[in-house]
Structure 1
Amino acid sequence: MEIKTHNPTEWLTHFGLNHAVEVRGGERTLYLSGQTSSDAEGEPLHAGDLVAQFKTAWGELVKALEAADMTPANLVRMNIYVLDVPAFMEAAEEIMPVYAGSGAQLSATLVGVKELYHPDIMIELEGTAVA
């Protein structure tokens, strides 16, 4: 499998993101449900702490990848749903290195939403991986 990134402008690369990710020769595609900062019973963790919630949600996404015998390097697309886009952008310098250091070569979309499944959940990550 070959993964190639395309960046007609460089501004997204500062965030560890790409304008487009091309996959050739992939045999399996994994669609990941939204992952949040929740415990095993679905109870929210880290209320009020966006960075901690991102780190926990990212950890859950990685566990789901591992369950399918994949790693963050297989992740090609991530949707990031947040309650507060300006707060996310303010925290971006802390958030982006979490996945950027994992080998992920992502295309991504940041979407501001009115609410998520619980009032204490501030962020949800959804992805697509290819192997």
Structure 2
Amino acid sequence: MNYSIGEFSKLTNLSIDTLRYYEKEGLITPERKKNGRRYYSEKDVTWIAFIKRLKETKMPIKEIQKYAKLRAIGNSTMSERMDILIKHKTVLKEEITKANENLQKLNEKIDFYKSAIDFSV
């Protein structure tokens, strides 16, 4: 199935301006009809979902651009793309570890306040 930019915007929950920005930055390359209008396919839906996932995990836009360029080249870049993802996974795991440490410290402080409040009452 093919989608107009408006349909694709609704389907992906991204604004038309965001889609145009992604195109300008080389993250997506929609097909064009003879009249020049963009159209998107199911492959684009899957690709946008992956871009959104990378953004949610705080991958820098420059890295997503690099990944997108390699993806556009084709299967010969699979190893390079995997390396990008492995590197990002390492960074993400470090962030998770830090977040868990911070959560633990917050829990300790909350427990301290609970004890202090219960003791004073």
TM-score bin, normalised by smaller chain: under 0.3
Structure showing the higher strand proportion among its residues: 1
TM-score computed with the length of structure 1 as normaliser: 0.23
State which structure, 1 or 2, has the greater radius of gyration over its C-alpha atoms.
2
Structure showing the higher helix proportion among its residues: 2
